[in-house]
Amino acid sequence: MPHRGDANRPKLFPTVKTIVTQCLCYLLALLVAVLLIVNGSHAHPSIYSHESHPEPESWQLKGIVAALKDPDPLVWAEALDKLSSYKLDQLKPPVEIPNKTIEQIADLLTYKHESNDHSENERKSVQSRVRASAAYALGQMGAAASEYAPEIAELLTDSESYVRVSAAYALGQMGAAASEYAPKIAKLLTDSDSDVSHSAARALGQMGAAKDYAPKIAKLLTDSEIHVRASAASTLGHMGAAGSKYAPDIAKLLTDSEIGLRSSAAEALGNMGAGAFEYAPEIAKLLTDSDSYVSGSAAHALGQMGAAASEVAPQIAKLLTDSDSYVSGSAAHALGQMGAAAYKYAPQIAKLLTHSESDVRASAANALGKMEAGAFEYALQIAKLLTDSESDVRYRAVEALGHIGAAASEYVPQIAKLLTDSEIYVGSSAAYALGNMGAAASEYAPQIAKLLTDSHSDLRSSAADALGNMGAAAYKYAPEIAKLLTDSESYVRSSAAKALEQMAPFEVKDLLSILNQVYWYQREAPRLRFLAYFLSGGEIDSLGLIHWLGSPKEYPHENEDHAINHQEGLDVLNLFADIWEPSQALPKLRKDLERQIAELVNHVRWKQADIDLLKEHYRNLNKAESRLAADVKAKIIALEGKHWFLIGFKVWLVHVSGWLLLIIIYPRSLQVQGLIWDWKFRTIVGLGYISLALTWIPWLRYRLLAPFRQVLVADASLDSFDPQAYFPDSHVKITRATHTQPIQTAIGQLQSPVVLVGESGLGKSMFLRNLVKTSGRLAVYLPASQCAGGVVEAIQAKLPIAAEDPLFLQSLINYNTLDICIDGLNEVSPDTRATINTFVEHHVQGHIILTTQPLEWTPPATAKTYVLQPLKRQQIADFLTSRQGILPEDAPVSGVAYEQACDDYLASQLQQTQSKQELAAVRRFLSNPMDLTLVAQLLAQGKDPDLLNLQQQQYEIMAEDYQQIHLCPFPLAEFAETVYQMRLHDQITIPEEDCLDELHCMERYKMVLTRQQKHGFGRTYREWKFRHDKIQEYFIVQTFLKTENRERQHEHLSDPRFRGVYLLLATLLEVNQALVLRETLIQSAAETKDHVVSDQFIQRFNSRQELTQTTNNDEELALYQKHNQNLIEIIKLVASRPINVENNAMSESTSDYHHSNYQSKYDQRQSQHKFNNFVDATQSEFNQEIDSQTQNNYAPEKNQTLSEAAAEIQQLLKQLEQSNPNATDLEKTAFVNIAIPATTKQRLLSALESGGKEALRELLDNPYVNVGMAIVEGWQNP
C-alpha cells in the first residue's frame, strides 16, 4: 500500500528481542533508504518499479501530446515521464501516438537548452532531464522505436548517471533490434553507479547478449571486496536467464557472514524468478535470520518466485507456529508475499490472528491482506482486530481489509471509526482502505475529505489516495485535493496528483484549482502545468486555458512567430467569460486572468459583433475594481468610435472652426481673452485638446501672449529707451576662454540659458533693454528682486489674467513662448538667486538670460556664462563720441568742440609718460560705459571730470540746480537714508512721497527714470527708478560715511547687494579708514571664501593711490607750507615713512573736502608746478634732517633704536586718533602694522632681544602703552 504509515513505524516484522539489535536494524534500514534516494534521485520513477505498465486511454495520450507542445522543456520531461508509465509497444488505433509526436520525442534526444534565465549548471540539468525522459519514453515503445537507437546509444556516455540509466533501459526494451549496441552497454556493467550497472545488466539480458558478459561478472562473486561481490550478485540477478546459470554461485552467498551479501544474494535469486526456484529452500532459511533486512529480502525473493517457490510453502507454513514471534512473523510475511500461491495456508495464518504476541497478529493480518480477495473468508476474523489494543494490529487489520477491497465492504463502518484513531498511521490506513472499497465507502467521502487539511502529512496523503480510489464518486472534492499539489511533503503532492488522475478527465472550470496552485508554488510549475494538460484530456477549450493561465513560460501573445487571429482570440475570450465566476475564489489566478484579458483584448483586431463580449469583460473587470478595465474600455470605445467616426469628424471641424474664430478676435476682445484663459471654459468647451493645441502650436502660443507684450517688458522702460544711448560694440568672452567676441554675435538671439556677468556700469541692463527692443520675439523683463517668490510667479504678477490658470501659463513658459530676461542677480538675497537657479536648471532649452555683477555663487549648470569685457582704448573714444546724440541740445560744449574736448581729455588721462600702475588705474575707470557717460555729460557742461568722484560731480551739479530752484539745500541725508532702506528691503521703486521735487530735479539730470503705470482701478500713477545702480549706490554710501552709521560698514560685509557701496568707500573714505576697512574685508573674505568684494576693493584703493601719488591740489600745497616745521619733525621720527605726511595731509584735506565746495584734489596740471617749488624751497633743510635721522636710525646703540620705534608708533596712533577718535584697538593695530615697514620692525625686534622690552614700555606715553606693547608683542609672536 503506497501510504506513509510504514515510513513512520516500520513494523513489517516482529519486534527484535534486544535493544541493540533493534537499533542496528533501524540504522541499516535508514542507510538503505539513503542509498536508494541518492542513487535513484534522478532515475526514472518506473525503472525500478515492479508494477505492471497499464495501457493508456485515448484522453490520457491526448493530454500528454498536448503537454509536449508547451514552451517549457521541464513540462516536456514531465509529459515524457508520464508517457513512459504506460505500455506503449502494442498500441492500436484509435489509441496511438502520432508519428509527428514520436519524431518530436526523438529530436529531444539531442536537445540543447538555451536560456538567459538559467546558469550553466541549470541549463545542463534541464537538458539532461529532457534527454533522459525522451530516451525512456522511446524505450517503452520497444522495437517500434528502434530506428532511434543510434541517437539513444550516444547517451550511454553522458556525464549524468540517470541519463545513462535511461539510455541502457531504452535499448534493452528494444531487444534484439538494438543488440548491436550491446558492447557499449556492457561497458556500463562496471559503472560506479549501481543503478547504471543494473540497468545495463537488465538490458543485456533483454537483448539476449548477457551470456557473453555474464562470465566476467560471475568471476567477481569471489572478489575480496564485499561490496564488489554484492554488486556482482545483484547484476547477475538482473540478467535474467543468462544470469541464472550462476545461481549456484550466488546461492553460496546466502550463508555468508555479511548481512549485505546475504541480502543481495536473496534479492538476486528472487530477480531470477523461476530460474532460481531450486534455491527457494535455502532462501526460506533466511526467514529466520536475525537481521530484519535479510529476512525481508528473503520474503520478497520468495514472493517474486511466486508459484515456483510454492513447494517450500509447507516448510514456511510450519514456521507459523514457531514459539519465536519473530520467526512466525517472518513466515507469515513470506507467505503473504507469495500471494495466491500460498492461499491454501491461509487457515494456518488465520490462526495467528489470535496469537498472544501483537506483532504476530499484525503479521498474520498483513499476510492475509496480501492474498487479497482470496482471504475474504477470514475478513470477519481480521475485522475483530480493528479494536485491538495494539495500534500496529489495528493498522495491519485495516490494511488487510483494504487489500481485500470491495469484498470486505460490510466492515466499512468499523473501518470508518478508525479515521479518528489516536495513532496517525492507523487513521491513514483506514482512509486508504475505505478508498479501496470503492463506491461502497463513498458515503464516508466527506469525513475523508476533512483529513485533506489535517496537520499530519500521512493523513493528508492517505485521504487523497482514498478519494482518488473512489474515482468519479469523489470528483467534487477535486479542488480541495488540488490544494495538496503544493504541499510541503513530496509524497503528499504525489498522492494528490495520482488522486486527480484517477478522477480525470476534468472539465475546464475544474482545471482552475490546479492552475491556481502554480502561482503559490512556482518551483513546481512544470509538474503542475503538466498535470493540468494531462487532466484536460487534450480538450480544446482546456488547452486554451492552460496556454493563457498558470504562469506559462511564454504567453501566446509573446510568441513572435504566431500572431493571434480573430477566431482564436474570440474563442479564448469566450472561455475567459465562462471561467470568470468560477475563478472568483482563486485570487492569484483571478489577477492573472485580468491581465490576460487585457493582453488578449489589446492583441486582437476585434469586430463590431464582438462588442457585447468585450462589454461583458469590461463589466467584470470594473466590478472587480481592476485597473485593467480601462484597457478593455478603450477597445470598446475604439470599436464604437468607428461607427460614429464620420459624424464626430464633422462635429470636430465645426468645433475647431469656432475656436479659430475666437483666436482671431482674441487680441481685440477682453471678453474672449477672459474666456480662453478660463480653465473651465477651455477644458469643457475646448474638449481638452484645445489646451494642448494652444500649448504645442507656436503660432497659437505667440498669439495668446502678444496682447500683453508691453506689460511684460514694462520694467525695461522701453518708452524711455534711446537706441542711440546703447553702445553695441562691447565684447564678451566665455568663462575661462581666451578670445573675445562681439556681444551681438555671441548673444544676438537667445537659444539656451545664458548668464551675462559684468562689472557695474559695463552695460548689462542696456544690453537687455536693447535685446528686448530689437529681438522681434515676445519677451519678459524681470528685475531679479521680483523673482523672490519664483520666476513663473513674477511673470504671473505681470499678467493678472493668468491667475485664472497658472498651470496654463507654466505650460506656455515651458514651451519657450517668452524670452526671459532677469536683471540684477547680485542685488537680491541668496534665496532668491537659488530660486532663479532652480528655474533655469529645470528649463534646459529655455530662452533665458540672467545678468549679474561678479559674485561668489554657482551659476546654473545648464547655462552658458559670458563675461562682459571693459572697453578698450578705441572703444572708449568711440563711446565718448557716440554720446553726442543723447546730450542736451543746450549743452555748453557740443559738436566739434565736444569731440575735441573728448580727444583732449583722453590725451591728458592716457599719457604715455604715466607709470603702468597709474595708466591701469585710469583705464579701469574709463573702460566703464557708465562712468564714461558721466564723463561725457561733464565734458558737455564744460567741467573737468574727476575719475574718482564722477558721481559726486554729477550730484553737485544737480544739487546746485536744486538749490537755485527751491532756495534750500538738497536734503542729502534724508534722501540717502530712504535709498538705503530701499536696498535693504529689495525695493527698486523710489517712493515719491515727500521727495517729489527732488525726483523731478534728478530726472532732469538723467539720474532717475519715470514711467506711467495703471493700477487695478484704472487710475494712472508714476513709478520712479534710478537710472543705474551706481547712482543709487552713491546715495547709499552717504549713510555709510556718517559717523553715527559707521557700524553699517561691518553689517553688510557679506551682503552682495551692497557690493558697489564698498567699492565707492575705497575712494571716499580717508586713507587710514580705507586701510582699516581693507583689512576687515580681507578678514571677512578669508572666513567666507568670497573674495569678490575684497579683491575689487583693493583694486579700487590701489587705483586711488596711483592717482594721488602724482597730483596735489592748491589746498594741500598751502597746508604743507603752513606746517613746514611740523613736517620736518614728523620726518625725523619716520624718515623711511613718507606715507605719514601723505596720510596727515589726506586727513585734513578730506575733512576740509566734506565741508567745502568740491574742488579736485587730483588735478595734475594745477598742482604739479607749485609742489615742485615747495620741494626746492625746503630741500636743504629736509636733506639735513634726513641725514641726521638716518645716522640715528642705523646707530649700533639699542636704546636709540627703541626710542625711534616708540616715537614712530606713538606718532601713528596720534594721527589715527585725530582722524578717527572712535577707532578700536583692532583698527589701531591694523593701521600701525600697515604703516611701519618690515625693516623697521626687524630692527626693533633685534633691539628687544637684549631685554629692552621694559625700556620700550617707559618710552611710550601712558595713553599708548597698552596698544603699543600689544603691537610689538604681535610682531614677536606672529
The vertex-753 CA angle with 750 and 757, nearest 5°, equals 95
Amino acid 30: pLDDT: 36
Q: Cβ(780)–Cβ(818) under 8 Å?
A: yes
Mean pLDDT of 387-397: 78
Backbone angles phi, psi at 855, to 5 degrees: -160, 160
Domain boundary among 463, 482, 503: 503
Question: What is the band of 393 on the pLDDT scale with cuts at 50, 70, 90?
Answer: confident
Is beta strand 1020-1026 parallel, antiparallel or unpaired with respect to 848-852? unpaired
Q: Cβ(986)–Cβ(829) under 8 Å?
A: yes
107-111 long-range Cβ contacts below 8 angstroms, 24+ apart: 108/76, 108/80, 108/133, 108/134, 109/134, 109/135, 109/138, 109/148, 109/151, 109/152, 109/154, 109/155, 110/151, 110/154, 111/73
Reply yes or no on whether the pLDDT at 1214 is more than 70: yes
Question: Residue 390 falls within a domain, yes or no?
Answer: yes
First to last CA, the chain: 102
Per-residue 3-state assignment (H helix, E strand, C coil) for 609-663: HHHHHHHHHHHHHHHCCCCCHHHHHHHHHHHHHHHHHHHHHHHHHHHHHHHHHHH
Tell me how far apart the alpha carbons of residues 1243 and 542 are, in angstroms, rounded to a whole number: 110
Least confident range from 40-44, 118-122, 223-227, 1082-1086: namely 40-44
Q: Cβ(497)–Cβ(461) under 8 Å?
A: no
Grid cell of 12 as nine digits? 513489517
Mean pLDDT of 176-204: 85
In the sheet where 741-742 sits, what is the strand order? 741-742, 731-734, 864-868, 754-757, 848-852, 819-823, 779-783
The verdict on 772 and 852 lying in the same domain is yes
| Neighbour tally for 924: CB within 10 Å | 18
Question: Residue 682 falls within a domain, yes or no?
Answer: yes
Grid cell of 833 as nine digits? 538667486
Name the residue with cell 492583441.
Answer: 603
The verdict on 350 and 414 lying in the same domain is no
C-alpha 72, offset from chain centre: 32
Reply yes or no on whether the pLDDT at 982 is more than 80: yes
Grid cell of 323 as nine digits? 514459539
Tell me how far apart the alpha carbons of residues 729 and 743 are, in angstroms, rounded to a whole number: 7
More confident residue, 673 or 31: 673
Beta bridge partners of 850: 755, 822
Question: Residue 1165 falls within a domain, yes or no?
Answer: no
The verdict on 697 and 724 lying in the same domain is no
The verdict on 443 and 347 lying in the same domain is no
Amino acid 543: pLDDT: 92
The verdict on 426 and 342 lying in the same domain is no
Tell me how far apart the alpha carbons of residues 629 and 617 are, in angstroms, rounded to a whole number: 8
Mean pLDDT of 1196-1222: 75
For the chain, the residue count is 1278
The verdict on 318 and 373 lying in the same domain is yes
Question: Residue 1253 falls within a domain, yes or no?
Answer: yes
Q: Which of 318, 320, 321, 315 is nearest to 302 (CA)?
A: 315
Reply yes or no on whether the pLDDT at 1154 is more than 60: no
Which residues constitute the domain of residue 1257? 1202-1276
Domain boundary among 648, 671, 686: 648
* Helix, coil or strand: residue 41: coil
Backbone angles phi, psi at 801, to 5 degrees: -65, -25
Mean pLDDT of 364-373: 65
What dihedral do alpha carbons 1120, 1125, 1127, 1132 form, nearest 10°?
160
Task: Give the tens place of pLDDT for each residue, 958-980.
Answer: 888 888 888 899 999 899 999 99
Q: Which of 459, 456, 414 is nearest to 432 (CA)?
A: 459
Per-residue 3-state assignment (H helix, E strand, C coil) for 1103-1114: HHHHHHCCCCCH
Task: Give the tens place of pLDDT for each residue, 298-311.
Answer: 777 776 776 666 67
* Helix, coil or strand: residue 1023: strand
Question: Which of 403-412, 778-787, 1155-1164 ranks highest by mean pLDDT?
Answer: 778-787
What dihedral do alpha carbons 173, 176, 181, 183 form, nearest 10°?
110
The verdict on 571 and 479 lying in the same domain is no
Amino acid 618: pLDDT: 94
* Helix, coil or strand: residue 228: helix
Reply yes or no on whether the pLDDT at 212 is more than 80: no
Domain boundary among 702, 717, 745: 702
The verdict on 663 and 609 lying in the same domain is no
The verdict on 470 and 588 lying in the same domain is no
The verdict on 696 and 709 lying in the same domain is no
Secondary structure letter of residue 587 according to DSSP: H
For 154, half-sphere exposure in the C-beta direction (CA atoms, 13 angstrom radius) is 10
More confident residue, 108 or 775: 108
* Helix, coil or strand: residue 43: coil
We report the CATH number of the domain holding residue 811 as: 3.40.50.300
Name the residue with cell 510667479.
Answer: 793
Tell me how far apart the alpha carbons of residues 363 and 11 are, in angstroms, rounded to a whole number: 9
Question: What is the band of 1240 on the pLDDT scale with cuts at 50, 70, 90?
Answer: confident
Amino acid 42: pLDDT: 46
Backbone angles phi, psi at 633, to 5 degrees: -60, -40
Mean pLDDT of 829-848: 90
For 725, half-sphere exposure in the C-beta direction (CA atoms, 13 angstrom radius) is 21
Amino acid 340: pLDDT: 65
Name the residue with cell 528472487.
Answer: 270
Mean pLDDT of 1229-1256: 73
* Helix, coil or strand: residue 868: strand
Amino acid 1173: pLDDT: 40
> Structurally, how many domains does the chain consist of?
6
Question: Residue 901 falls within a domain, yes or no?
Answer: no
Secondary structure letter of residue 54 according to DSSP: P
Name the residue with cell 634732517.
Answer: 1185
Q: How far lies 1067's CA from each of 1070, 1072, 1151, 1224, in Å?
A: 8, 12, 14, 22
The verdict on 372 and 482 lying in the same domain is no
Question: Residue 483 falls within a domain, yes or no?
Answer: yes
Question: What is the band of 116 on the pLDDT scale with cuts at 50, 70, 90?
Answer: confident
Helix (H) or strand (E) run with residue 1024 in it: strand 1020-1026
| Neighbour tally for 848: CB within 10 Å | 25
Question: Residue 156 falls within a domain, yes or no?
Answer: no
Q: Which of 460, 445, 562 is nearest to 503 (CA)?
A: 445
Reply yes or no on whether the pLDDT at 574 is more than 90: yes
Q: Which of 574, 626, 561, 573 is nearest to 604 (CA)?
A: 573
Mean pLDDT of 919-924: 74
Q: Cβ(1171)–Cβ(1112) under 8 Å?
A: yes
| Neighbour tally for 1004: CB within 10 Å | 13
More confident residue, 165 or 922: 165
Q: Cβ(162)–Cβ(44) under 8 Å?
A: yes
Amino acid 155: pLDDT: 92
Is the Cα torsion angle 1264, 1269, 1272, 1278 positive or negative in sign?
negative
Q: Is this prediction's pTM over 0.85?
A: no
We report the CATH number of the domain holding residue 330 as: 1.25.10.10
Question: What is the band of 337 on the pLDDT scale with cuts at 50, 70, 90?
Answer: low
* C-alpha gyration radius of the chain: 56
Question: Residue 94 falls within a domain, yes or no?
Answer: no
Question: Which of 81-85, 934-938, 1258-1262 ranks highest by mean pLDDT?
Answer: 81-85
Name the residue with cell 562691447.
Answer: 730
The verdict on 722 and 826 lying in the same domain is yes
* Helix, coil or strand: residue 971: coil
Tell me how far apart the alpha carbons of residues 1000 and 474 are, in angstroms, rounded to a whole number: 108
Task: Give the tens place of pLDDT for each residue, 576-589.
Answer: 999 999 999 899 99
Q: Cβ(88)–Cβ(140) under 8 Å?
A: yes
Question: What is the band of 371 on the pLDDT scale with cuts at 50, 70, 90?
Answer: low
Mean pLDDT of 224-253: 76
